[in-house]
Chain A
Amino acid sequence: MGLNALDIYKLLPKTNCGKCGCPTCLAFAMKLTTKKASIEDCPDISPQAKASLLEATTPPIKLVTLGSGREARSIGHETVLFRHEKTFFNPTLIAVEIGDDLDMQEIKKLVNKIETYKFERVGEELRIEMIALSSKRGKKERFVETVKEIRKISSKPLLLIVKETEILEAALEVSPQNTLIYSRDNKDFAVLAELSKKFASPLVISGKSLSDLAERSKRFKEMGIDNLVLEVPEGSLKSNLADLTQIRRLAIKENFRPLGFPAILFINDQDSFKAGIKASLGILKYASILVLPDLKYWQFLSLLVVRQNIYTDPQKPLQVEPGLYGIGEPKTGSPLIVTTNFSLTYFTVSGEIEAGGMPAHMLIVEAEGMSVLTAWAAGKFTPAQIAAAVKKYKPEEKLGHKKIIIPGYVAVLSGDLEEELPDWEIMVGPNEAADIPAYFKKIWNPVK
């Protein structure tokens, strides 16, 4: 949103009526800036104010939806150049390209492979979102049949890569809603526009340069088509980066509508390593769709994970994964400290342990990335949660004892924690991480 909270507040009724769910109009204005509320939530806003707000907040990059049903995905609606400014909203979609000249059995196998390729990582399911089918021989029946076969196995959104209008149209007849069209060498724009309208299909436009792309997009706009995706001109990493950056910048910083569309990057490198590198550039730098020539498991893992990382909402605090960590190679008999999963807490405490020279275990409890005091104050670092972590990660197996040290600031928890963990000894550590080495020397060492 270009407007800040106070600007928005000035446009609101300022009655603090609470109908929007916020206690004051200013609180609502603040939520609007972080997109945690919608202007629609205010029933009393004046039509003029609503119109100005909507205008100021229309994202500069068009939202394009691909596919339908549960597999539908949207791209676009990005508002920032750097994820730390807010977040990147719609993750890059990855498509695997299949040529219709392969044996149908091969094709089916490949589609199955794409379909079954998914696994969970850090609470999210990672998978491939699209299937791209390219017409290699210019044979209409073959192409149409392949589309049908694919649809029997998968309902993922499709990207049709085909030059001839006739083949394209026939394929669209049997394709799902919102199928993406790529007909690069087809100069019959009017026909493409018709097809796009008729089938409500988003269309990829290509050009040798950004100026070409802008020109083309204007032409399609004149024909009433604005469901577009821009193909990044082929080139080196230097060229791709420049183009992707310019497209995003011109859209966001200058509201340049002809380039206000999501971008697609086709990766043709035969060398899978190089292809992987280029794909990662696309993910990091603003590409909305990546099309890769095949599905190589060892290559895809890195891509899916880097995508997961970059598209994580940075508003969430820095967290480490909960679990049992060994600092400085602890052995049996080493002490165990429990604390929260706020990264800075983890680093500070582990740093002090390392600096002190006495190895120890750290049990990190899920506390939504809050520091010890904050988490405790918010009820996110409670005896019940600590006990649950102990039961889950079973530190006693590595410790050889059942003593747990809690941060001094939450000494008040010790009584209740004893009840939760009756066969454990609860020790109260120092308030400050800086005092941990001294604590270990004086209090831990003698007790073994």
Chain B
Amino acid sequence: MESCKITFYPPQKSVVVPRGTTILEAAVQAKIKLNAPCGGTGQCGRCRVKIEDGQALVQPYAHLTSQEISKGICLACMTKVEGNLRIFIPKESLLGEVRPQKELPKAGKDQEKIWQLTPLSKEKPYGLALDIGTTTVVANLIRLEDGKSLSTHTSFNAQNYCGSDVISRIVYAKNQKRQNELKNLIIGTINELVEQIFSVHKIESGDIGCISCAGNTTMIYLLLGKNPQPIREDPFIRAQFDSPFTAKDLGLNVFPEAAVYLIPGVGSFVGGDITAGILSVGMNKSNEVSLYIDIGTNGEVALGNKDWLVSASCSAGPAFEGGGVGCGQPAVPGAIEKVKIESKNLKPSFQVINDEKATGICGSGMIDLLAEMFRCHIIDRIGKIDLDLNNERLRIGKKGKEYVLVWGKDTATGEDITINEVDIDNLVRTKAAVFAGQKFLLSNLSLSFDKITQIYIAGAFGNYLDINHGVAIGLFPGLSLDKFKFVGNGSLAGAQLCLLFENSREDANRLSAKITYLDLASSSLFMDEYTAALFLPHTDLSLFPSQKENS
């Protein structure tokens, strides 16, 4: 069938569209205003609809649980029609009151835009959403006319050699010369990404007219060439900048007068990247209490709802991005991203990014590995390897007891890929910091995990994160799976929103002032929670009811 009749209700409205159109586009044609703040890119999960009858090509997406999918719920923006459909629109998926616009959109082909795009600047056709991470930088090209995301490019932050974490980088930036050096490095990285974008899309530098930027406080300071030393000192200031900046001010190779919006941060170690993440999942608009966890180099957590929000940085360390773990790496081709171990013979099976020969193991793979080793009793609750299991994969290596994940003959380098007790200790400490951060926020507000409705997990894990395994090792709390949502790169999603919508920029500005920043470093409560979390899954087993028996 070439034409498909799509019937929406409530209110009852029908429209005929060609096969392969997304339900969202069909709704537009039917003059139904679906909620799609992310611009129909599948990032926010707001455009949920239910297919009552008919065929559609549903793509599974992180925002949908398997339960929902089995009930016929899908994301309108990501679902293409295959035939006649009858679709139910839940109330929360409809756009609310439209804010009066300051500027009327220029008359174009589609008069009715369901999402009122109010990009940072309309001078040029394209905009850039940037996520400046401590370890990696991501640039996302957006077509401003319709808010469509065209492509995403990632690169390692060239500043890496000046310190793998925020503190070392601040320490490195101790004088003007060093600050200039770091500034040039990050500008260089961004410009490289921009170059890639130009060549892939065959556009010119002058075509990119605005940039929205999410990054932690230190990264932004270094971007601006500012001395970051005050970040480490009390009071833990909120990063506010003398905006607006232009691309020319910063040295970015796009349209020189391009407006640059730096998403404001919350405090010294919770930056605009977290403001952006919180914005992207909308927890600041919800009545229910949600938890947001960004498992990056710094490990930030945020808790709250529309009435109040708190946030802290757990200083978790780069273990989940490969730092400090022997065979650890970021989620790049060649990294093992999924692991399973057979309990009988301790034989592992795994999946490598791009299906290449394994070079190492990335964050999601490490979480799997730790969980599986624990489940198979290779390690005890404090992460010590039990050699008494008498298996050829368990041995004493150069750095002590280790488990061989991949034999040298099967790896890209010819060297065995192993994990030893020091690595495990590092991972346990990292996960303990992140969990303790969550508990710390809750304790400060006299709340418990059962009061949380939704847990958002963001991080540069790549495509995959096994929440179950995260719970098994005590990285995430022992709540039912349907409360978890893996949102991928929340900071980038937030940067996109800020690029395209004035509401979002205003929200970001308000949010950054409203979120209460909590400092963990000096808290004995945090230290106590941290020690409690240095156990698999946790000293308090009652927090993990499903994990009770591991014997």
Listed in ascending order, the chain A residues whose CB lies under 8 Å from chain B are: 4-6, 9, 14, 16, 23-24, 26-27, 30, 314-318, 344, 368, 370-371, 373-374, 376-379, 412, 431-432, 434-435
Contact = CB atoms under 8 A, between A and B. Distances in A.
B285 interface: no
Contacts of A9: 308
B521 A370 contact: yes
A361 to B, nearest CB: 25
B422 A412 contact: no
A435 B516 contact: no
B449 to A, nearest CB: 16
B158 interface: no
Given A317-B524, A373-B315, A379-B232, A16 B167 contact: no
Nearest to B310: A26
B145 interface: no
Interface in B504-525: 513-518, 521-522, 524
A431 B310 CA distance: 32
A93 to B, nearest CB: 28
A146 B531 CA distance: 58
Contact of A5 (B171, B324, B444, B521): B444
B167 A4 contact: no
Interface in B285-310: 307-310
B447 interface: yes
B402 to A, nearest CB: 14
Given A24-B515, A379-B233, A434-B422, A6 B446 contact: yes
Interface of B: 163, 167-168, 171-172, 232-233, 238, 307-310, 315, 324, 421-422, 425, 444-447, 513-518, 521-522, 524, 527, 531
B310 A412 contact: no
Given A30-B516, A373-B315, 12 more contacts: A4-B445, A5-B444, A6-B308, A9-B308, A14-B307, A16-B513, A16-B514, A24-B514, A24-B515, A315-B524, A316-B524, A317-B524
B275 to A, nearest CB: 14
B446 to A, nearest CB: 4
Contact of A377 (B238, B315, B516, B524): B315
Contacts of A379: 232-233
A376 B163 CA distance: 14
A316 B513 CA distance: 29
A4 B447 CA distance: 10
Nearest to A22: B516
Contact of B168 (A24, A378, A412): A412
A377 B167 contact: yes
Given A23-B516, A377-B315, A434-B425, A5 B446 contact: yes
A314 B528 CA distance: 12
B344 to A, nearest CB: 31
Contact of B444 (A30, A316, A317, A412): A30
The 4 A-B residue pairs whose C-beta atoms are closest, nearest first, are: A4-B446, A26-B516, A24-B516, A377-B167
Given A6-B446, A370-B521, A412 B516 contact: no
Contacts of B307: 14
